[in-house]
Amino acid sequence: MTLTFREELKDLQAYKPGKPIDDVKKEYGIEKVVKLASNENPLGSSPKAIEAVKKAAENLAIYPDGNATMLKNALAKKTGLKTTQILPSSGSDEMIDIIAKTFINKNDEVIMADLTFPRYITTTKMMGGKPVIVPLKNWTYDLEGMKKAITDKTKLIWLCNPNNPTGTMFTEDELLDFLKSVPNNIVVVYDEAYNEYVTRKDYPKNSIKFLKDYSNLIILRTFSKIYGLAALRIGYALASEEIIHNMNKIRGPFNVNKLAQAAAIAALEDEDFIKKTYELNKQGKEYLYKEFKNLGLEYAPSETNHIFVNVKRDANEVFIELQKRGMIIRPIKDTWVRITIGTPEQNELLIKLLKEVI
Ligand SMILES: Cc1ncc(COP(=O)(O)O)c(C=O)c1O
């Protein structure tokens, strides 16, 4: 007798993370390695969050608060929503998983873009859903194309704004028009992992207001990006009470650990840290734009902490050559790579090494 695995697994591959810094150091025998590959915060984490983690770590023998009550209270204060409309998770990654498990039945059609965040397609396939892929236009979500892809079999639509990996955005008017056009039995997941970095005024800065009119909308946020807490794995969803009630049945009993809860509460209060990160990112983006232009490299306009750039050489080759020199970036497709905006020193080093490599 042999083991059998679920049919859906046949078409899935395990997530391939970027190489850890220590592996690259060992492999190439180099001491200093800079990672601009995973859209992390180059300033680290809020000092207040670090303090909160130290305090919370004094007792690790007890389970965390499975309801994350204090964190929900803090998020309710920040968002103006009821705590029953908020669900914390172990990163947005887990929430994407929970959403797929809550809604997607076998053979349901699920609309998503290409290129976009890869967990949308993986979790869709995991549930036996049928991905309906709408290519980007000018590296930007084609919402009109997505509308046209809706059929009576459509169950859910994944949106990422601004988009990872291209960094591009769609406007508040476009989002509203889209929400109006989607039948309300179709779930719209709106992942705004990078919303705090957006500089454009026509971006839907306050997407929460749409929850009132669109009971099919789920907003996703994370503490991994501007809040600098990627290592702790924490994010949250905002939605109707009915959606949160049902998703709450799916999650693990203690899905958000104690250190993550404590850090997130402290991080929410540290507005200075957010401002500092935003400014650093904005300046870094302007610097990199200028240098890319000098190098004759085309890039997509970014509203995030990463830039999608055409290095005019095979992306994997550039990735390997940079890695040998102590710089980790992310190859995406063809000659396009994604580079996280770092500190001024990191950005300067990136440009110096890019000049060597290309
Ligand atoms: C668009 C988007 N959604 C979700 C995630 C996952 O974030 P988390 O670290 O909270 O799991 C990422 C991480 O890169 C992302 O870019």
The CATH number of residue 319's host domain is 3.90.1150.10
CB of 196 sitting under 6 A from ligand 1: no
Q: Are residues 239 and 301 in the same domain?
A: no
Q: Which residue, of 245, 269, 293, is where some domain finishes?
A: 269
Binding site membership of 191 for ligand 1 (Cβ less than 6 Å): yes
Q: Return the ligand 1 atom nearest residue 93 CA.
A: 11
What are the angstrom distances between the C-alpha of 292 and each of 140, 166, 295? 20, 16, 5
Pair 213, 353 in one domain: no
Structural domain includes residue 28: yes
| Per-residue pLDDT at 18 | 74
Q: Is 335 close to ligand 1, i.e. is its CB under 6 Å away?
A: no
**Binding site membership of 224 for ligand 1 (Cβ less than 6 Å):** yes
Which atom of ligand 1 is the closest one to the Cα of 38?
A: 14
- 140 CA → ligand 1 middle, Å: 18
* 159 and 206 in a common domain: yes
Do 27 and 128 belong to one domain?
no
Question: 193: Cβ below 6 Å to ligand 1?
Answer: yes
- Does ligand 1 have an atom closer than 6 angstroms to the CB of 235? yes
Q: Are residues 97 and 137 in the same domain?
A: yes
Statement to judge: residues 230 and 284 lie in one domain: no
**The last residue of a domain, from among 217, 244, 269:** 269
297/256 Cα distance (integer angstroms): 42
Task: State which residues form the domain around 304.
Answer: 13-45+272-357
Nearest to 219 by CA among 211, 227, 230: 211
Ligand 1 centroid to Cα of residue 177, in Å, is: 25
Same domain, 56 and 179: yes
Is there a single domain that holds both residue 37 and residue 89?
no
Q: Is any atom of ligand 1 closer than 6 Å to the C-beta of 228?
A: no
Whether residue 339 is contained in a domain is answered as yes
Clarify whether residues 165 and 105 are in a common domain.
yes
Q: What are phi and psi of 188, to 5 degrees?
A: -110, 115
Q: Check whether residue 188 and residue 238 sit in a common domain.
A: yes
Q: Does the residue 1 lie in any domain?
A: no
Count of structural domains, the chain = 2
Consecutive sets of 10 residues in the chain, 358 residues long: mean pLDDT of each?
A: 93 84 90 95 97 98 97 98 98 98 98 97 97 98 98 98 98 98 98 98 98 98 98 98 98 97 98 98 98 98 98 97 96 97 98 96
Residue 91 Cβ < 6 Å to ligand 1: yes
Kindly provide the residue ranges of all beta strands, DSSP E only, lying in 195-305, ordered along the sequence.
Answer: 217-222, 235-238
Domain-embedded: residue 6: no
pLDDT of amino acid 194:
98
The residue whose C-alpha atom lies closest to atom 4 belonging to ligand 1 is 92
Q: Are 224 and 92 in contact (CB under 8 A)?
A: yes
The answer to whether residue 7 sits within a structural domain is: no
Point out the domain boundary residue: 238, 269, 300: 269
Q: Give the DSSP letter string of 3-36.
A: ----GGGGG-----PPPPHHHHHHHHT-S--EE-
CA distance to 17, 264, 327, per residue, from 70 (Å):
32, 10, 40
Check residue 177 and give its pLDDT.
98
Query: For ligand 1, what atom is nearest to the CA of residue 165?
Result: 16
Q: Are residues 246 and 106 in the same domain?
A: yes
Q: Does residue 3 lie within any of the structural domains?
A: no
Q: What is the CATH number of the domain that holds 242?
A: 3.40.640.10
Identify whether residues 91 and 238 lie together within a single domain: yes
> Is residue 310 a part of any domain in this protein?
yes
Nearest protein Cα to ligand 1, atom 3: 193
Does a structural domain hold residue 219?
A: yes
92 alpha carbon – ligand 1 mean position (Å): 5
